[in-house]
Structure 1
Amino acid sequence: MRSLLITRNFPPLVGGMERLNRHIAQALARNGAMAMVGPSGARAFAPAGIDLREVPHRPLPRFLMGAFVEGWRSAGRFAPTLVLAGSGLAAPQARLAARRAGARCAVYVHGLDLIAPHPVYQRLWLPAIRGADRVIANSRNTARLAEQQGVPRDRLRVVTPGTEVFDTPPVASTTAERATLGLQDGPVLLSVGRLTERKGLAAFIRDAMPALVAARPDVQLIIVGSDANDAVAAARGSERARIVAEAERAGVAGHVRLFGVVDDATLDILYRSADLHLFPVRDLPGDVEGFGMVALEAASRGVPTLGYAVGGVPDAVEHGRTGELVAPDDARALAEATLAWLAKPRAQTAADCLAFAAANGWDIFERRLVEAFA
């Protein structure tokens, strides 16, 4: 197989989609010659020895035009047999390149790829996704959205993202490690990810944190992440500022800490300190959580996830075993579930999470992805 990957979602950009596309690239490179069109700086993270063309990722129109040009050139020079768009954003470029090379076209789609409300996107990008020879969805919910948008069922495959699997079980953080980060002795609720309205943290703090603090005065909510400034549809204003404001209005500011972006060593300590991972994603019109990679990543650290059963999140959490998902926006139910899970034996929940993660490692994802092209 000679493959060409076209994607904006690739390191050095940071996020779940970027990690996913890095593993997509690795899977393609291990199964034949590979070329790639990606963002500036991608070479440091791409498989060695591939034919790589970098395009500035900002502003977005510049990337879109650059990806069209470089995708067209790569199709003629490299002659791929498969052209893959790493997200719906690159679907038109992938289809054009595939047409030039006489290759098959595939698109890996996330939920928002299929419901983005912008009229230009609806007129130009959705037809490119529908016309692909293979559409690979990141969850069952995303596959349902693809069918609703007219993607034929026989062209659809579901390949959920994977996670890193650690050789040894995580060890609980020490008192000294916690002290270096200013963590108290009480239970730690952890949230990791870019800050957007869809992630639901401001609403969770407003609607659930007061009850949690009343029941457990020593509880701490630790938030890792920054505003999603590199997202295609960046929010208006700062979600971080909204989170801080809600914590102050709810009278729980002393129980909420925002760490921003942290290095791997700090994140490791935070995961080993966490009792639960909070993922209160909201079901918003025109927005959707395609999968919820961070829930699977938390499981790989032995940390259960509590959140709402929306979008593709149910594919990332084994309900009752690696966490619990309650009805969308039911803050009271989520607060009650959080208190109940804090009372569970940590050793058993950690073992269940680690087993679930081991069954969904990146090596398994890469194998399933290649099989999906057949």
Structure 2
Amino acid sequence: MQKRIRILIITRNLPPLLGGMERLNWHMAAELAKYADAHIVSPRGSAALKPEAVDVDEVPLAPLWRFIAVAAWRAIRVAREWRPDIILAGSGLTAPIAAVTAKASGARSVAYVHGLDVSIASLLYRLLWLPFLRRVDRIIANSHATADLTRDIGVAAERIAIVHPGVDLPAAAPHPSLVDAFRQRYGLGNRRFLLSVGRLTQRKGLREFVVEVLPRVVEQHPDVLLVIIGDVPVHALKAAAQSPADIQEAANRAGVGTNIRFLGPIIDRDLLASAYRAAAVHVFPVRHIAGDPEGFGMVAVEAAAYGLPTVAYATGGVIDAVADGYSGHLVPVGQPVVFAECIHRLLDEPLSEAGLYQHAKQFAWPAFGRALTQEIEGLCSASRR
């Protein structure tokens, strides 16, 4: 019987922290544990919500310097005792720890990168972190756009692979009674609404959307709402935020202040599923900002899994997440009129729910886990030769 690969994962992004990276790292550990023995070094509080088959060593989350120092010490200690085959950084932030731990224990190093962790403009980060990203044995990027960014910092193309993030596929659509209860809970009545889900950062572009696009939508559909699920980021690499107050003020000035509704963060999966099911269109007006890319766009795939199409600007990894004309529409950056026209089209002529589900199915977490495992097994096989 072949010995199972041992993988030590080091990450600062796990539940109970909220966000796409946190969900991805949780599923990364859960899926890898199907094929390998997995152990995580992660912040305090994560052990209570860890995947069942994974062991966790907790370290302080903040301040950042303390997390890095304690996580490195703990990772080296675990690696020397446990002897993993692979040290896997859950993002570029922990790549230095992975590289140092791998060298100290004779393992191979891998970093899964998301976009911002490669291109962030911080001089300190670029001086101290990027050399380690160039040094790890394998970079796995979440999209073609992130892979391009990784090549731009000097990583050879043959050391880069692409494994798209995954999505939870619903066993069934939320029962209509749950969708009705969601509408009642948040006072949405029977109004059709556009949905935005995610952290309220400058990159997500909601303030610009309510000024440039929403008035054009309201002009043709006066009763439509923009429902926003999410809040300002905490503990992020680059937490440039657009607060609810900023977005609301911009909407008021644009004359659509009564067409916007903030629900705050929603972590209950049934509630979020009901939100996707109740909405008419998912909007993803991501801005193209140098040094702050959208690495993929998991929320667009998640929306498709519930039969909800996306309209998004075609930038960064969003191009990998949205199949134009099939799971929604990709709009050239800087064309809000076209963005509004695509929303009108979907409000009047919805896309096939079967097609939307099929698009999401190719990104299911088991597919992510198999692809990630293949990359890691390939690295292990190469090191044995």
TM range (shorter): over 0.9
Aligned equivalents of 1:167 and 1:33: distance in 2? Answer: 28
Please state how far the C-alpha of 1:28 moved relative to its aligned partner: 2.5
Is structure 2 residue 14 aligned with structure 1 residue 13? no
Determine if contact 1:139/1:315 at 8 Å carries over to the other structure. yes
Letter of the structure 2 residue corresponding to residue 321 of structure 1? Y
Aligned equivalents of 1:369 and 1:141: distance in 2? Answer: 18
The TM-score normalised by the length of structure 2 is 0.93
State the partner residue of 1:363. Answer: 366
Aligned equivalents of 1:357 and 1:299: distance in 2? Answer: 6
User: Which of 227, 232, 249 is the aligned partner of 1:227?
Assistant: 232
Please state how far the C-alpha of 1:270 moved relative to its aligned partner: 1.5
State the partner residue of 1:332. Answer: 337
Aligned equivalents of 1:300 and 1:174: distance in 2? Answer: 16
Q: How does 1:88-167 map to 2 (within 5 A)?
A: 88-167=92-171
CA deviation digits over 1:184-223, x for unaligned, max 9?
A: 3232100001110100000000111111111110111000
Letter of the structure 2 residue corresponding to residue 43 of structure 1? A
Please state how far the C-alpha of 1:30 moved relative to its aligned partner: 1.9
Please state how far the C-alpha of 1:170 moved relative to its aligned partner: 4.5
Is structure 2 residue 284 aligned with structure 1 residue 279? yes
Aligned equivalents of 2:138 and 2:326: distance in 1? Answer: 33
Secondary structure of 2:352's aligned partner: helix
Letter of the structure 2 residue corresponding to residue 229 of structure 1? V
State the partner residue of 1:208. Answer: 213
* Stretches of 4+ aligned residues off by more than 6 angstroms: none
Gap runs ≥5 in structure 2: 379-385
CA RMSD in angstroms, aligned pairs only: 1.5
Secondary structure of 2:129's aligned partner: helix
CA deviation digits over 1:215-239, x for unaligned, max 9?
A: 1101110000011023122226x52
State the partner residue of 1:254. Answer: 258
Letter of the structure 2 residue corresponding to residue 181 of structure 1? Y
Determine if contact 2:147/2:162 at 8 Å carries over to the other structure. yes
Letter of the structure 2 residue corresponding to residue 138 of structure 1? N
Determine if contact 1:10/1:21 at 8 Å carries over to the other structure. yes
CA deviation digits over 1:76-133, x for unaligned, max 9?
A: 1111110000000000000011001101100000111111111111111111111111
Determine if contact 2:29/2:54 at 8 Å carries over to the other structure. no
State the partner residue of 1:372. Answer: 375
CA deviation digits over 1:291-328, x for unaligned, max 9?
A: 01100110111100101000000111111010001011
Is structure 2 residue 360 aligned with structure 1 residue 353? no
Determine if contact 1:60/1:232 at 8 Å carries over to the other structure. no
State the partner residue of 2:65. Answer: 61
Letter of the structure 1 residue corresponding to residue 296 of structure 2? F
Aligned equivalents of 2:301 and 2:151: distance in 1? Answer: 25
Aligned residues: 371
Letter of the structure 2 residue corresponding to residue 78 of structure 1? W
Please state how far the C-alpha of 1:265 moved relative to its aligned partner: 3.4
Secondary structure of 1:38's aligned partner: strand
Gap runs ≥5 in structure 1: none
Secondary structure of 1:294's aligned partner: helix
CA deviation digits over 1:269-291, x for unaligned, max 9?
A: 21111011000000012100000
The TM-score normalised by the length of structure 1 is 0.96
Letter of the structure 1 residue corresponding to residue 207 of structure 2? A
Aligned-pair identity in percent equals 44
State the partner residue of 2:381. Answer: none
Determine if contact 2:173/2:277 at 8 Å carries over to the other structure. no
State the partner residue of 2:194. Answer: 189
Aligned equivalents of 1:369 and 1:176: distance in 2? Answer: 38
